[in-house]
Amino acid sequence: MSFIDHGKKQLRGNIREYGMYIALFVIVVGFSIATDGVFISSRNIVNLVNQTGYIAVLAVGMTLVIVIRHIDLSVGYLSGFLGAVAAIAMVSWDLPVSATIPLVLGLGILAGLLSGFLVAKMEIPAFVATLAGWLGYRGALQLSTRGTGTIIIPDDAFNAIGNGFVPDIPGIGILPGVHHLTLILGFLGIVLFLVSEINARRKLQGYESEILPMEMFILKLVFVTALVGGITWILAGYQGLSWTAVVVLIVIIVYQFITTKTVLGRHIYAVGGNPEAAELSGISVKRLTYAVFGSMGMLSALSGILFASRLRSATTTAGQLFELDAIAAAFVGGVSAAGGVGKVVGSLIGAFVMSSLSSGMNLMGMDISYQYIVRATVLAAAVIFDVATRKRE
Amino acid sequence: MGRSVTIPVCPLWIRGFVTAPITPIFLTAEKGISMNSVAVGTAVVELRNINKSFGAVQALRGVDLVLRHNEVLGLVGDNAAGKSTLMKVLSGAYIPEEGDIFIEGKKTHFASPMDARRQGIEMVYQDFALANNLDVAANVFLGREAVRTQLGPIAVMDNRRMEVEAQKLLNRLKIDISSVRLKVERLSGGQRQAVAIARATAFDAKVIIMDEPTAALSVAAIGKVLDLVRELKALGSSIIIISHRLEDIYRVSDRMIVLRHGLKVSDTPVEGDIHEFRERVVAYIVGARDDFGGRAAADKRQEA
Ligand SMILES: Nc1ncnc2c1ncn2[C@@H]1O[C@H](COP(=O)(O)OP(=O)(O)O)[C@@H](O)[C@H]1O
Ligand SMILES: [Mg+2]
């Protein structure tokens, strides 16, 4: 059967990308069955989204850092420290939320530029430079929470970012008890996806080898539509979109746009693919390094805000191990350690794969020690898979 | 050989992305016609007394070089003679300690490859200098992407235009690649070299420098690259080609310079039959002959 043959060939060509979606699908279905549907319940899905948010934004930034062949180990404690700064700004300095958030994001950019300076200008290996950051921000976090211990954040608006939901459009009679705005957004998302996929396919027509066979194409559209539709329905049946989900969506849309449509994005991937070639083409590798680390710092600040808001407080251990979760998410999502390869959407999926695993294992009451081992196996498998498929090409 | 061929200098290429109509000029670029006809013309590039060292290694010791309009200049010499270094000085990748660069008679200073590219000097580097993770169109336009809209510091690319222009460029140079959307990592060595050359010619290049363009290629691919050189000449470019393969130099060059230990030892038209030519060039390469020995020694004495 030529359809299956063709499909197989296509699958093999894009196995890295599809593998991730398949893994997510298997995890979701597996845990849903194993937990009698608790995993797929509205409450758990909302929790999952809000828990993944602060790692997902880090993973997006980390993707670009790894694409340009660096690494940033400082992001976890930077996130924790900046979360504490946000708490102190509101509690001790009496700053309003509207001033606190820009302040913290700005500090994040500065911290990122400092890493960028060490890497680009002083030519210190990123691993070492950001390990210093890891130590430094850890110290700073402990200093800033030493007097008070955990800092409770009393501001409702701030805490809504990690716990609240987007209000619905008032006065719609049909489908009572369902979050209409969420449904509308989900519907628009699906339409946008379908239109862009169909347009992209039309543009590719004529390059035989690159194009999915029609049946596979339809299968893909149906799969994604069902996935997005399902999640939308689940969320709409509960309290709708959480603010965290909105923040993550905005970050993903902005970064997806920058990486695929702008000169900046093109240059980031060029530097990752061949730094010498990029430099000889007149691209400033230094400037890009600053930009990528600056963005990483800003996203660390955002992660800190999301996490502090979710806990309604800043704690001494905030941000611990976030960097490793973000790096794992990026690698599971298809980023290559060799540089030049990796998509922000992939890393988002990677983050969801890892946190779905944790969530599902928690629901099943699995011993935390085994949880680490399972996650280690998944990470290793993803990278081995990646290296193996790359070699075959 | 006495036949002189007049080839109209064609300003062409993609000026501000407006493509010039394809002229039948290709047809005059037949094998053997333009070959060996010494182009008469003014200097498009002149390098004077270029010195460049790497630590204790004196890679270039006062080299002069003139490239005339619409000329193909061969550059040969043993390994480590300084060929690549000299060309990187001209492409802005290296800054010489001493010496002057003149473009169209005007003294210039290149602080970076971008400076040189802006003046119409393009180099095809020995290792191609392509980003293998990007597609053909992206590589052709690398560093000079077509912009659709500028949103503050963010420039949105015009991918469509770049793809169309890249495809036109490949067609014009008769480069056979099925799609400009193919990633470079999926191309053969010859195709990569072709992309690197296409990239160098995409923007109004006055001068195209090719560093060992045939070194890593199969015989069939070599023939294609040499055809490409002829085509570029017919289209009005001035070209410098570095090669170890003397027959390549012989087949496409009008003139040839030999470097040895960072000094110029020969600067002669390419003429005579291939055996005689090869014998003569080898004598220069190994140091048995040196047309500038006296002068180089004199210069050195003057410096001391
Ligand atoms: N980037 C560099 N750093 C140090 N030495 C170099 C560098 N580039 C070239 N050289 C040295 O300069 C000399 C000339 O090299 P090169 O110009 O590459 O020679 P060619 O291209 O003729 O083989 C050699 O001795 C080489 O080792
Ligand atoms: Mg060389």
Q: What is the mean pLDDT of chain A?
A: 91
User: Could you give the domains of chain A?
Assistant: 19-164+242-376 (1.10.3470)
Taking residues A364-393, what's their average pLDDT?
87
Nearest 5°: CA angle at A37, between A222 and A244? 70
Under an 8 A CB cutoff, do A270 and B145 touch? Answer: no
Taking residues B120-139, what's their average pLDDT?
92
pLDDT score of A348 more than 60: yes
**Structure tokens belonging to residue A168:** 């619905």
| Letter string b/e over residues B33-53, b meaning 16 or more CB atoms within 10 A of that residue's CB | bbbbbebeeebbbbbeebbbe
pLDDT score of B80 more than 50: yes
pLDDT score of B179 more than 60: yes
Under an 8 A CB cutoff, do A281 and B179 touch? Answer: no
Residue A205 contacts B, CB cutoff 8 Å: no
Under an 8 A CB cutoff, do A273 and B142 touch? Answer: no
Angle between helices A42-67 and A75-91 (to 10 degrees): 120
Q: Is the dihedral of CA A108, A114, A117, A122 positive or negative?
A: negative
pLDDT on residue B123: 94
- A77, A319 contact by CB (below 8 A): yes
B85 alpha carbon – ligand 2 mean position (Å) = 7
Q: What is the pLDDT of residues B30-43, one digit of tens each?
A: 333 333 333 457 89
pLDDT score of B204 more than 90: no
B43 alpha carbon – ligand 2 mean position (Å) = 24
CA B138 – CA A266 distance, rounded (Å): 8
B277 alpha carbon – ligand 1 mean position (Å) = 27
Nearest to A280 by CA among B196, B203, B165: B196
B253 alpha carbon – ligand 2 mean position (Å) = 18
Which protein residue's CA is at the shortest distance from atom 18 of ligand 1?
B84
Q: What is the pLDDT of residues B140-178, one digit of tens each?
A: 999 999 999 998 889 999 999 999 999 999 988 888 898
Taking residues A257-284, what's their average pLDDT?
95
CA A281 – CA B123 distance, rounded (Å): 10
Beta partners for residue B46, in sequence order: B66, B102
pLDDT score of B27 more than 70: no
B195 alpha carbon – ligand 1 mean position (Å) = 25
Under an 8 A CB cutoff, do B155 and A264 touch? Answer: yes
B57 lines ligand 1 (CB under 6 A): yes
Beta partners for residue B150, in sequence order: B155
| Minimal CA separation from B159 to chain A, in Å | 8
**For a pLDDT cut of 90, what percent of chain B falls above it?**
63
Contacts of A280 in chain B (CB under 8 A): 91, 93, 113, 123, 125, 129
| Minimal CA separation from B90 to chain A, in Å | 13
Candidates B117, B124, B142, partner chain A, best to mutate (most A CBs within 10 A): B142
Instruction: Name the CATH code of domain B43-128+205-303 (choices 3.20.20.370, 2.60.40.1120, 3.40.1080.10, 3.40.50.300).
Output: 3.40.50.300
The contacts of residue A344 (CB under 8 Å, 6+ apart) are A60, A63, A64, A252, A255, A256, A259
B126 lines ligand 1 (CB under 6 A): no
pLDDT on residue A20: 81
Place A364 in a pLDDT band, splitting at 50, 70 and 90: very high
Q: What is the pLDDT of residues A85-108, one digit of tens each?
A: 999 999 999 999 999 999 999 999
pLDDT on residue A123: 96
Q: Which residue has the higher pLDDT, A2 or B55?
A: B55
The contacts of residue A218 (CB under 8 Å, 6+ apart) are none
A70 alpha carbon – ligand 1 mean position (Å) = 29
pLDDT score of A68 more than 70: yes
pLDDT score of A323 more than 80: yes
pLDDT score of B81 more than 90: yes
- B87, B211 contact by CB (below 8 A): yes
Contacts of B93 in chain A (CB under 8 A): 280
Residue A392 contacts B, CB cutoff 8 Å: no
Taking residues B267-289, what's their average pLDDT?
93
Under an 8 A CB cutoff, do B113 and A276 touch? Answer: no
Which protein residue's CA is at the shortest distance from atom 3 of ligand 1?
B54
Query: If you compute the radius of gyration of chain A from its CA atoms, what whole number of angstroms results?
Result: 22
- Which strands form B98-103's sheet, in the order they lie side by side? B57-68, B43-54, B98-103, B106-108
pTM (two decimals): 0.87
Which protein residue's CA is at the shortest distance from atom 20 of ligand 1?
B80
B201 lines ligand 1 (CB under 6 A): no
Q: Is the dihedral of CA A79, A82, A86, A87 positive or negative?
A: positive
Under an 8 A CB cutoff, do A207 and B144 touch? Answer: no
Considering CB atoms only, which of B131, B147, B154 is closest to A278? B131
- Give the ligand whose atoms come closest to the C-alpha of residue B77: 1
Q: What is the pLDDT of residues B245-271, one digit of tens each?
A: 999 999 999 999 999 999 999 999 998
**Structure tokens belonging to residue B279:** 């014998």
pLDDT score of A246 more than 80: yes
Q: What is the DSSP letter of B128?
A: T
Nearest residue in chain A measured CA to CA from B94: A280
- Write out residues 278-307 of A within 8 Å (CB-CB) of B: 278-283
Under an 8 A CB cutoff, do A280 and B155 touch? Answer: no
pLDDT score of B301 more than 90: no
B81 lines ligand 1 (CB under 6 A): yes
Under an 8 A CB cutoff, do A262 and B131 touch? Answer: no
Taking residues A346-372, what's their average pLDDT?
95
Q: What is the pLDDT of residues A160-203, one digit of tens each?
A: 999 999 998 888 878 888 899 999 999 999 999 999 888 888 87
